[in-house]
Amino acid sequence: MADDTRNRITAVVTAPNLTYKQKVQQLALLAEAELPYPKLSDVAEQAMETGLVSDLHEGPAPYRPRYVLPDYAVALRNGSEYLELEAPRDLEEAVDLLEILYHHVPSITGHPVYFGDIDTLLLPYLDDSWTDERLDRLMTRFWRFLDRTIPDAFAHANVGPTDNPIARSILRVDRELAQVVPNLTLKWDPAVSSDALLREAAVSIAVVNKPHIANDPVIGSDFAEGYGVVSCYNTLPLGGGSHTLVRLDLKESLAQHSGDIDSYLTTTLPEHIELTFEVIEARVRYLVEEAGFYEQSFLVEEGLIHRDRFTAMFGVFGLAELVNGLLGDKRYGIDPEATELAHRVVEIVADLVESREVAHCRNGRAMLHAQSGISEDVGVTAGARIPIGEEPEIVDHVLAVAPHHGHFGSGISDIFALEASVRTNPEAIVDIAKGAFEQGMREITFNVEGSDLVRVTGYMVKLSDIEKLRAEGSRINSTGLGAESVENWGLLGRVPRVISHEIDPRMSSVLE
Amino acid sequence: MTLTGSSRLLHHPIVIQLGEPLLEIAGSLQSSAVDGPGNRYVIFLQGCNFDCVACHNPTTIGRCDACGACVDACPHGALSFPEVGVVAYEEAACDHCRACVAPCPIDSDPAIRVVSAETVVDEIRGVAGFLSGITVTGGEPTMQLEALVALFTAIKADPELSRLTTLVDSNGTLDRAGWERLLPVTDGAMIDLKAASPDLHEHMTGHGNEPVKRSIELLAPTGKLAEVRLLVIEGVTDTDAELEAWAAFVAGVDPQIPVRVMTFRHQGTRPQAQEWPETSPEAAERVRDRLSGLALEAVLPP
């Protein structure tokens, strides 16, 4: 074993501020890192080395999909033979079954990223014996269980689009508890949801910056099998998920280009997209053909997930730096010419992603994703966002980014900062969300100034936890990522308009 | 074009309008969460018949009388004298350096837009999907009564926009005949009552408060008095005697009138106002508690 590896292992084993389980997870990553990467061409290898293409430290030998979205309704209906559980008979047994199942759902973070559409799953068990007060007590227990046993803020619950007592209870309880886990999305459909439900969500947003709101009819039309919103606002097929997420750094792509705008769009960009696909396909093949995840998992055997519902996510980021670099004197989000070029670049990328067949993927295709950055990104803007500090007024901001949204099938997050004054006027949040959805936005996230619970990148952290982190360590895995992001992006010192983010599996904010 | 008398008169100046009434707009916001319920389009009209010490937009007070003091001060050539009695402003040339404001003898802002109601309605149409309504403030919006009525009438007549609520944020000096013109197309008025004692009101605004009180009495029974506001200047408008008199007047009209306690901020104010301290959250809370204890039943939360 190389000394370097030995030193890294020792650092993890002796780290004073990691929990036992966090150490186990880090040791697994170090072990995997000893394996060779799936075979790539020299030019693709070089793209990985320069950071043009990145797998976000997923590891060289993928043995579980990045994101798994089980169709929990199947287990609620049938019970589980593997887990030796009967189908639940009442609401409390249904919650118990879900809590047990979560511990058998893998993902890249080592924790489930999707808890299900909780209200839809539990409504069949709701009978007249459940007053709002009793329901709130059960949901409080459920929510505490999630936060205390699945300490990762990428884990995500969905509610809606119907207005129902469980969705209402969850919104009440979630803002009362103000926990990091679970992250929460409201699926909203103007034809199905009531305005009152959206107002209830706005009241929560004003207090705890969640839920994120998804435009249900727009996203739903891309997923006949249903979908979930998971992790940092990825929209993925229900009963499936994503094998992997590989991203193309558009800023770096421009740095490796020599020539004019047209030659970039017609030659360099397509070449770099194909390199990204090469990495995606190599990883997917390893996961499916070598590691054999889909042959081993009881989730497949019992019909909670289906291999043919797994796609691969094609991520891009740094659109702003690419466009501003191509034009020189025009700024994306400020000058219409730059914003139009941004729309054109995204159309080209989307067409190329749509036309490229990928082995073992749902419909034979990857899905485009506006990747929200990771904690080590510095000087490059997340996904297709307008750079921090250059965002126009909120309505102009929506109008500038909304045309992108139809192209990002597996998710795009734009985060809008609101002044603390909306706390007394949550109706303003309702208005802006409705206006944004009318413009075709797939999803929208708000950050209200002055909350302890803030969205650093898409996931939640408590500012008070960050203060304590280095001294004491944190119970929550992603707080470390939050701390690093806060420092790299100067988040605490500016308007809370933030960058989203997936994961830093190296826990570098704690270990280095 | 509008010709006006002195902007320092309390009562609305004589206005001679030729043809379609135009709005003199000092500025507008596509989106605001602090000017009434929901997200609102906000229009600041130029000109006010009060001269409040604490005014946070003092350059909206004067209505330009075309003296021309600003034209030469503009380093960008955005201001000109195209004809007698008119100072023209060319928005495209302006870089908002504000060099034109200092030489103005009546605290007016020459960089205003003079546009028809239809122009404003078109602008609102582009962002209507994001709005609960429109709030017109200023300045004192009711000084441009005819243009204001034309704007609200056009909004209420437009099938796409008629769902939007129309609010005015007013100093309450409009007379009965004026309110009768405005109310049919207005969903609510937010009225400032800067002080209950006539002397203190005179000190705060340069004028007495009788017209303001009459407006509150007139609006309350119509259901269109959205709120009455008290600006807290610590040691000035929050004395026991003043709060008692203020609450007695408002509760005497109707104890259910929504009351909003406003905090004073230095931003935008003139030097004389900055001798007053900014309102602390504790002082605002104290005033809210006090007013609630004085028979006002609808003191709004911060």
Q: What is the pLDDT of residues B129-154, one digit of tens each?
A: 999 999 999 899 999 999 999 999 99
A394 — contact with chain B (CB < 8 Å)? yes
- Residue A321 and residue A381: Cα distance in Å, rounded? 7
Angle separating helix axes A336-355 and A269-285, nearest 10 degrees? 40
Structural domain contains residue B83: yes
* B91 and B163 both lie in a single domain: no
Give per-10-residue mean pLDDT for chain A (512 aa): 88 86 88 95 97 94 97 98 97 98 92 96 97 98 94 90 98 94 95 94 94 97 97 93 98 96 98 98 97 95 98 97 96 96 98 98 98 82 91 92 97 89 93 96 90 69 68 61 53 29 42 42
Q: Is residue B5 part of a domain?
A: no
| B108-119 pLDDT per residue, tens | 888 888 899 999
Q: Is pLDDT of B257 > 70?
A: yes
**On the CB side of B269, how many CA atoms lie within 13 Å of its CA?**
16
Q: How many domains does chain B have?
A: 2
Identify whether residues B144 and B27 lie together within a single domain.
Answer: yes
Do A417 and A409 touch, CB atoms closer than 8 A? no
Average pLDDT, chain B: 90
CA distance linking residue B132 with residue A422, whole number of Å:
14
Tell whether B218 and B246 lie within a shared domain: yes
Cα three-residue angle B57-B60-B62, rounded to 5 degrees: 135
Round to the nearest angstrom and report the end-to-end CA distance of chain B: 41
Residue bearing the bigger pLDDT, B19 or A7: A7
Same-domain check for residues B262 and B197: yes
Residue A83 lies in a domain: no
Domain containing A5 equals 1-34
pLDDT average, residue stretch B51-76:
87
Name which of A398, A432, A441, A446 to mutate to probe chain B: the one with the most chain B Cβ atoms within 10 A of its Cβ.
A432
Based on the fold, state whether residues B78 and B137 are members of the same structural domain. no
Q: Which residues contact B246 (CB under 8 A, 6 or more apart)?
A: B193, B195, B196, B230, B291
Q: What is the pLDDT of residue B13?
A: 43
Spatial neighbors of A419 by CB under 8 A, at least 6 apart, are A448, A449, B33, B34
Distance from CA of A433 to the nearest CA of B (A): 8
CB contact under 8 A, A434 and B37: no
- Report the length, in residues, of chain B: 302
Q: What is the pLDDT of residue B73?
A: 87
Q: What is d(CA A155, CA A159) in angstroms, rounded to the nearest whole number?
A: 14
B157 located within any domain: yes
Split at pLDDT 50, 70, 90, the class of B5 is very low
Alpha-carbon distance B219 to A261, whole Å?
Answer: 62
B173-222 tens-digit pLDDT: 999 999 999 999 999 999 999 999 999 999 999 999 999 999 999 999 99
Q: What is the pLDDT of residue B12?
A: 43
Which residue in the block uniquely carries the two structure tokens 């999630």? A146
- Whether A195 is covered by a domain: the verdict is no
Chain A contact present for B130, CB below 8 A: yes
In chain B, the DSSP E strands lie at: 22-32, 40-45, 79-83, 86-89, 113-116, 133-138, 165-170, 188-192, 225-232, 259-263
| A330 interfacial to chain B (CB closer than 8 Å) | no
Are B130 and A418 an interchain contact pair (Cβ–Cβ within 8 Å)?
no
The answer for B295, left when phi > 0, alpha when psi is -120 to 50, beta otherwise, is left
Please state, for a pLDDT cut of 70, what percent of chain B lies above it.
94
- Total domains in chain A come to 1
Q: Which residues of A touch B38 (CB under 8 A)?
A: 425, 427-428, 430-431
ipTM (interface predicted TM): 0.84
Report pLDDT for A475.
Answer: 61
Nearest to B37 among A418, A425, A439 (CB): A425
Distances (CA, A) of A416 to A253, A424, B22, B201: 27, 18, 35, 41
Asked if pLDDT for residue B106 goes beyond 90, the answer is no
In a domain, A23, yes or no: yes
B118 and B179 housed in the same domain: yes
Count helices and strands (H / E) in chain A: 22, 15
Average pLDDT over residues B260-283: 93
Report pTM.
0.87
Give the nearest partner residue to A431 out of B29, B130, B302, using CB atoms: B130
Residues A371, A502: contact at Cβ < 8 Å? yes
Do B171 and B117 share a structural domain?
yes
Calpha distance B114→B101 (Å, rounded): 18
The verdict on B144 and B209 lying in the same domain is yes
Domain housing B80: 66-105
In a domain, residue B16? The reply is no
Residues B39 and B81 in one domain: no
Query: Within a domain: residue A7?
Result: yes
Tokens of A81: 């033979």
Q: Which among B29, B132, B302 has the least Cβ separation from residue A431?
A: B132
Q: Is B102 on the interface with A (CB under 8 A)?
A: no
Note the pLDDT of residue B18: 57
Check which CATH number belongs to the domain holding B73 and give it. Answer: 3.30.70.20
User: Could you tell me if residue A448 is inside a domain?
Assistant: no
Name the DSSP class of B12. P
Q: Which residue of A has its CA nearest to B38?
A: A428
Residue B11 placed within a domain: no
User: What pLDDT was estimated at residue A468?
Assistant: 67
Given a cut of 60, whether residue B1 has pLDDT beyond it is no
B190, B284: one domain: yes
| Interchain proximity A398–B130, CB inside 8 Å | yes
Whether B82 is covered by a domain: the verdict is yes
φ/ψ of residue B199, rounded to 5? -65, -45
